[in-house]
């Protein structure tokens, strides 16, 4: 059994990890930290876990994280890198759901997250945790930087096009929408029910921290310079993400050939579903699952290809992807504990 610790188990990504790991056949939940909720049974905070999770939250100084095989950090940026050296010295593997180990460029991290990186030497060995594109490296990793939710949709949506070299990489556009849970579990005016419900808005238009992360990974797919316009939006739903991606074709290619690029790229991927050409994937088709679905369009058979991508921002966009990485790191089938059918309606 894999002994698992979770740092920061009270937020949405934390409880999503608990939901997935509680029924994982190879996991023993060993420690869940929360300074404020020390001693509180997890199921008292999250009744959905009654009968599934029988341990209590522990203050960080009481939790025996050093005795775990792997520790997930479902915490704000900066927490994982502060604890990483001690845990790695004890032989513990780390999976960070925040941004501490996503950006290899320290200056970019410090620019976008407003804090110094405390362990750049560990950052150098960290592996970006997108299994579909980085599976081999994940298997041997000690530290995983779990991708952001928006970047997951953009990378998997653009990858076959960039790999084949059939689009203008300098002018990629991503128009993305996320449910309110993406903002985290906190008391903030902009995400109150009466503020977010029956409303729709863009944010981070002049610059968003997921842009440098996405560009850095897209650049690995092509020798051409990547330029990306990314605009995120807040949608009036709890969970779900829909990304509409635009790319201008640079080659004469048929629709069947475009479809084949995606089907060939993801034919053996258990969590990427390529729908028939011209389909319209819905966020509810992935709710509470680790599945990402996408579909291609080409208006008027012109020179623009549109990729529609949907996922659950808390599962494939965060906690589910982290569990997928854990499975790979410990030699398990990566689908273990992640084959839940999406919830509908």
- Look at the alpha carbons of 206, 209, 212, 215 in this order and tell me if their dihedral is positive or negative: negative
Q: Residue 97: how many CA atoms within 13 Å on its side-chain side?
A: 33
> Alpha-carbon dihedral of residues 133, 135, 137, 139, nearest 10 degrees?
160
Alpha-carbon span 296 to 280, nearest angstrom: 9
Is cis: bond before 101, omega within 30 of 0? no
Catalytic one of 119, 149, 176, 325: 149
User: Is 149 a known active-site residue?
Assistant: yes
Phi, psi of 326 (to 5 degrees): -55, -45
Tokens linked to 185:
């579990």
Alpha-carbon span 98 to 96, nearest angstrom: 5
SS3 240: coil
Kindly list the catalytic residues.
Answer: 149
């Amino acid at each position: 059994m894999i002994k698992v610790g979770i740092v920061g188990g009270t937020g949405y990504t934390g409880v999503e990890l608990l939901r997935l790991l509680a029924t994982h056949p190879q996991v023993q939940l060993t420690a869940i930290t929360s300074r404020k909720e020390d001693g509180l049974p997890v199921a008292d905070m999250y009744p959905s876990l009654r009968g599934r999770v029988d341990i209590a939250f522990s203050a960080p100084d009481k939790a025996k994280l050093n005795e775990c095989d792997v520790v997930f950090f479902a915490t704000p940026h900066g927490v994982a890198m502060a604890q990483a050296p001690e845990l790695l010295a004890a032989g513990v593997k780390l999976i960070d759901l925040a941004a501490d180990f996503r950006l290899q460029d320290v200056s970019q991290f410090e620019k976008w997250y407003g804090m110094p990186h405390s362990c750049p030497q560990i950052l150098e060995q960290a592996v970006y945790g997108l299994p579909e594109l980085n599976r081999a490296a994940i298997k041997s990793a000690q530290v995983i930087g779990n991708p952001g939710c928006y970047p997951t949709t953009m990378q998997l949506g653009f990858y076959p096009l960039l790999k084949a070299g059939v689009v203008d990489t300098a002018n990629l556009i991503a128009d993305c929408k996320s449910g309110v849970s993406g903002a985290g579990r906190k008391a903030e005016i902009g995400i109150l029910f009466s503020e977010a419900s029956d409303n729709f808005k863009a944010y981070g238009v002049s610059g968003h921290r997921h842009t440098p992360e996405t560009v850095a990974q897209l650049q690995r797919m092509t020798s051409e310079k990547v330029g990306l316009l990314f605009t995120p939006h807040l949608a009036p739903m709890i969970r779900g993400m829909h990304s509409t991606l635009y790319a201008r074709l640079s080659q004469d290619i048929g629709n069947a050939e475009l479809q084949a690029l995606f089907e060939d790229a993801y034919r053996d991927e258990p969590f990427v579903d390529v729908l028939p050409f011209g389909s319209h994937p819905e966020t509810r088709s992935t709710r509470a699952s680790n599945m990402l679905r996408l579909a291609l369009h080409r208006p008027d058979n012109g020179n623009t290809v549109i990729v529609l991508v949907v996922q659950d921002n808390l599962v494939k966009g965060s906690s589910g992807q982290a569990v997928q990485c854990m499975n790979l790191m410990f030699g398990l089938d990566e689908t273990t504990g992640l084959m839940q059918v999406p919830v509908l309606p």
